[in-house]
Structure 1
Amino acid sequence: MTIFTSPKIACFGEVLIRLSAPAGERLLSSPALSTHVGGAELNVASALAAYGLPARMISVLPDNALGHEARREVAGRGLDVQHLTHASGRLGLYFQEPGSDLRAGNIVYDRADSAFAKITPNAIDVDDILEGCNWLHISGVTLALGEDVANSAIKLAQAAARNDIDVSFDFNHRAKLWAAWGGEPAPFLKQMMETATVVMGNDFDLMKVLNEPKARATRSLHLADTALATFPRLRAIASAYRTVERNEKHRLRGELVTRDMRAQTEEIILENVVDRVGGGDAFAAGLIASFAKELAPEIILDHAFASMVLKHGWRGDATRSTWEEVATFDLAAGGDVKR
């Protein structure tokens, strides 16, 4: 894998507005919903900018007041927005009804016919988009939006691979989005895996592209080994595992497998989760930043895991932590005040 000292990381995906009901309330029983600008790839790009790395957001916004306000928000996070374009359509939304104690939360997507969802491969100028970049990040959420969007993402990733640009791919499986258009994930996921150098996913994700029976899809790391043997460009597979005991109490663990090493974190327990949304994106951002900063392999997982853990203390889709907070995070110290 090629690692650069000053990378510009391109992130391709939809910019969304999240509307959340207050804790303990139904969506339509609340007189007010809180708003957050997010989306899987934007969450990663925002974290990377916060971690001191130049990042470019590639997306399409509606050409209306809401779309232009979203652009200002993205630019305000320190991101390169020269490839954040405007077109006819609407802004994608999703609604969150938070869980409480043992009551599970719920997500309702409202993304059909958004300006981004109308993108086609012919509209993707890969040379222009990737100019000056040496890393590309895409997630499975983008592939799940429809065939044209998926093929656009794959076209961009294939161009990156041809130009020896690192590609990170987070499976981020969203069954509701695939089902909305009857998409079959496996063929699209396999094409992305063929371009990727770093993948975020677990055995159940890898099973979709490796034609492995469910009986072998355990957490034994077997499928990570199989994936590394199957896809020559692939160099690392990272996994974040979550067990939810109740809405506010989660158990988290991380794993990293490369061609030379395997590493696992200790499981930790978070007793008072503020907001779990974007935790996986923070893990991805910590992983990408650690590779880009040329850190030792044994440190990469620790920083990615710290990035994810810290996100659970921030409300909103994207983490607000700094790289210093990630790099100096001491799990044993917990939330003690730094003096």
Structure 2
Amino acid sequence: MGKVIGFGDFMVRLSPPGYLKFAQADSFDVNYTGAEANVLVSLACMNVETEFVTRIPENPIADAGLALLRKWNVGTRYVIRGGERMGVFYLEKGASQRPSRCVYDRKNSGIALARPGMFDWDAIFDGASIFHVTGITPALGPEMPEVTLEAVRKAKEHGLVVSCDLNYRKNLWTTEMAGKCMREVLKYTDILIANEEDCEKVLGIRSKNTDVMKGQINKEGYIDVASQLVSEFGVKKVGITLRKSISASDNEWGAMLYENGTPYFSKTYAIHIVDRVGGGDSFAAGLIYGSLKGYTPQRTIEYAAAASCLKHSIEMDFNLSSVEEIELLAGGDASGRIQR
């Protein structure tokens, strides 16, 4: 299989133990995270060669984060050091009818102050097959839209498949800013990953007869959305996650892959959530893995949905599931019985 490159932020995650609210916490559990890093860890656990590209400061906290990536076999040789801080992400996990809450402290992080020309994309993309980026990365700093566009252009020059997750974050930029930038990024995108909210807010494309706040999902609406995305941007594949939120603790989860004018739907999983952060990233990793392996569209979407389903059962942001575990679930074994 080919090598996958991911480019994005790398942050510290601080969470109260268990399901404590921020006001109750007198300590935090520490982890490291970032959308693209999450994808690469998931792929590395599937025995895919990976390299992470980011910019972080030269200090012991950043060193600890890099050590964690190396532990999970994610390449770090193209990480550059600079800036004064890593961004911080505080998470209060929700339960039942109480939603999770996120607080970000990431302004002026190392990558937020990156500039065009800072990364040697010719060296980075040499011998690689797929480049993955998200809509979070260009939103991080004033010059990051141009840095991201520089990266996707170079990726196409080197013949890479470009995978992009829209991943809109309202606390980082406006819908107008996101739409302007991401429409340019999508000109170079082959695999587009999205959900119904991001399609509407960033690209103005809305699924028919769907209200995410009421938990309604209309499959025909998503087929229409995917068709519009292919028609307008020329992407080859569209992966859309289908989440029906019953509560913060329980969701119904499935996905759709639209390829060559045909929609493919995964089975739907009833999941009891341990930690939902990184669920979309594990879905993206599953789609990328299916592409690398040359899976059929149906097998790809079943694999990606199963990978993401399993991530919801794992604490912290990384999906540490193996190919064997994912294939077992995708093949129909959802019993959760102990493996001896």
Normalised by the size of structure 1, how large is the TM-score? Answer: 0.92
- Per-residue CA deviation, residues 274-293 of structure 1 (Å, 9 max, x unaligned), is 10010000000011011101
What are structure 2's unaligned runs of at least 5 residues?
211-217
Deviates more, 1:67-76 or 1:163-172: 67-76
Q: Structure 1 CA distance, aligned partners of 2:26 and 2:202?
A: 44
Partner of 2:228: 226
Matched, 1:149 2:144: yes
Matched, 1:19 2:20: no
Q: Structure 1's 58 and 183: CA in aligned 2 closer, same or farther, altered over 3 A? A: farther
Partner of 1:41: 36
Q: Structure 1's 169 and 69: CA in aligned 2 closer, same or farther, altered over 3 A? A: same
Partner of 1:262: 263
Partner of 1:190: 183
Q: Structure 1's 252 and 65: CA in aligned 2 closer, same or farther, altered over 3 A? A: same
- Per-residue CA deviation, residues 256-309 of structure 1 (Å, 9 max, x unaligned), is 101142111232211x31100100000000110111011122200000001000
Q: Structure 1 CA distance, aligned partners of 2:176 and 2:55?
A: 22
Question: What RMSD in Å do the two structures reach over aligned CA positions?
Answer: 2.0
CA contact (8 A) 1:241 1:252 kept: yes
CA contact (8 A) 1:19 1:95 kept: yes
Partner of 2:254: 253
Q: Structure 1 CA distance, aligned partners of 2:313 and 2:270?
A: 13
Q: What pairs up with 1:80-229 in 2 under 5 angstroms?
A: 80-179=75-174, 184-208=177-201, 211-212=204-205, 219-229=221-231
Deviates more, 1:71-80 or 1:296-305: 71-80
Normalised by the size of structure 2, how large is the TM-score? Answer: 0.91
Give how far 1:212 is off: 4.6
Q: Structure 2 CA distance, aligned partners of 1:42 and 1:183?
A: 27
Matched residue of 1:192: which SS? helix
Give how far 1:202 is off: 3.2
Q: Structure 2 CA distance, aligned partners of 1:167 and 1:334?
A: 36
What are structure 1's unaligned runs of at least 5 residues?
1-5
Give how far 1:215 is off: 6.2
Q: Structure 2 CA distance, aligned partners of 1:259 and 1:207?
A: 23
Give how far 1:213 is off: 6.7
Q: Structure 1's 45 and 24: CA in aligned 2 closer, same or farther, altered over 3 A? A: closer
Q: Structure 1's 336 and 213: CA in aligned 2 closer, same or farther, altered over 3 A? A: closer
Give % identity.
Answer: 25
Q: Structure 1's 302 and 120: CA in aligned 2 closer, same or farther, altered over 3 A? A: same
One-letter amino acid matched to 1:118: L
CA contact (8 A) 1:203 1:221 kept: no
Give how far 1:183 is off: 6.5
Partner of 1:292: 292
One-letter amino acid matched to 1:242: R
Deviates more, 1:223-232 or 1:329-338: 329-338
One-letter amino acid matched to 2:292: A
Q: Structure 2 CA distance, aligned partners of 1:336 and 1:8?
A: 34
Partner of 2:215: none
- Per-residue CA deviation, residues 143-181 of structure 1 (Å, 9 max, x unaligned), is 2213311221111011111222100000111111215xx
Deviates more, 1:186-195 or 1:321-330: 321-330
Q: Structure 1 CA distance, aligned partners of 2:65 and 2:202?
A: 35
- Per-residue CA deviation, residues 85-143 of structure 1 (Å, 9 max, x unaligned), is 11131011100011121111100001001111111113132212212212100011112
Matched residue of 2:66: which SS? helix
Q: Structure 2 CA distance, aligned partners of 1:47 and 1:12?
A: 15
CA contact (8 A) 1:120 1:152 kept: yes
- Equivalenced residues, count: 330
Q: Structure 1's 216 and 123: CA in aligned 2 closer, same or farther, altered over 3 A? A: farther
CA contact (8 A) 1:50 1:321 kept: yes
Deviates more, 1:276-285 or 1:260-269: 260-269
Q: Structure 1 CA distance, aligned partners of 2:308 and 2:209?
A: 28
Q: Structure 2 CA distance, aligned partners of 1:73 and 1:210?
A: 35
